[in-house]
Amino acid sequence: MHSRLVEIWVGVFVAIGFLALFFLAMKVSNLGEISATRQGYRLIARFENAGNLKVRAPVSMAGVTIGRVTSIRFDKQTYEAVVEMHVDPRYDTLPEDTSASVLTAGLLGEQFIGLTPGAQDDYLKDGDEIELTQSALVLERLISKFLFNKAEGDGQKSGKAHEG
């Protein structure tokens, strides 16, 4: 009888542990947020390079998450990434000249959309497009540009040394 009661309690604690792990996994993967209710409004931004941006990535302003990325698609006419965002209705006073950038949290962290407010008096509405965008910085591109410029600079220095 006593060992049966211990087994039941162990089973209860194991079940609670699995539930806690499940909720933790949902929170980390951003699936746990049911805030994707159809309240709020949709914004669109076009980027030359969306980097490693994912659906459900945060949309933030001043470090505060104000929405989520709802879709990312490729436009065959303009050859750009078209990113749709859902912004919480509490943040309905974003100026029309707000800019959007694909940013990275930390050195190798997840990518997100960072919004920077403009100064106009008119506000973005549902379905509006953010005109001012800055694409993701691709680390490989920066390294290759640095190495190319370095090699080009070394080549010019050695060419000048032979002239003198």
pLDDT band for position 135 (50/70/90)? confident
| Residue 59 shares a structural domain with residue 97 | yes
| Residue 138 shares a structural domain with residue 58 | yes
pLDDT score at 66: 94
Q: Which 8-state DSSP code applies to residue 10?
A: H
Q: Which domain holds residue 13?
A: 1-32
Q: Is residue 162 part of a domain?
A: no
Q: How far is it, in rounded angstroms, from Cα 71 to Cα 81?
A: 10
| Residue 80 shares a structural domain with residue 9 | no
Q: Is residue 153 part of a domain?
A: no
pLDDT score at 34: 47
pLDDT score at 143: 83
Q: How far is it, in rounded angstroms, from Cα 64 to Cα 60?
A: 5
Q: How far is it, in rounded angstroms, from Cα 18 to Cα 13?
A: 9
Q: Give the percent of the chain with pLDDT over 70.
A: 84
Flag whether pLDDT at 15 surpasses 80: yes
Q: What is the pTM for the complete model shown?
A: 0.66
Q: Is residue 150 part of a domain?
A: no
84-132 pLDDT, tens digit per residue, is 999 999 999 999 999 999 998 876 678 999 999 999 999 999 999 999 9
Q: Is residue 164 part of a domain?
A: no
| Residue 66 shares a structural domain with residue 137 | yes
3-state class (DSSP) for residue 76: coil
Flag whether pLDDT at 138 surpasses 80: no
pLDDT score at 115: 95
Q: Give the Cα-Cα-Cα angle 136, 98, 31 (nearest 5 degrees).
A: 60
Q: Give the percent of the chain with pLDDT over 90.
A: 52
Q: How far is it, in rounded angstroms, from Cα 104 to Cα 109?
A: 6
| Residue 127 shares a structural domain with residue 69 | yes
Flag whether pLDDT at 51 surpasses 90: no
Q: Is residue 124 part of a domain?
A: yes
| Residue 23 shares a structural domain with residue 80 | no
| Residue 74 shares a structural domain with residue 52 | yes
| Residue 7 shares a structural domain with residue 58 | no
Strand order in the sheet with 80-87: 129-130, 41-47, 80-87, 64-75, 58-61, 111-116, 99-104, 132-134
| Residue 119 shares a structural domain with residue 63 | yes
| Residue 14 shares a structural domain with residue 83 | no
pLDDT band for position 83 (50/70/90)? very high
Number of independent structural domains in the chain: 2
3-state class (DSSP) for residue 66: strand
| Residue 95 shares a structural domain with residue 62 | yes
| Residue 92 shares a structural domain with residue 23 | no
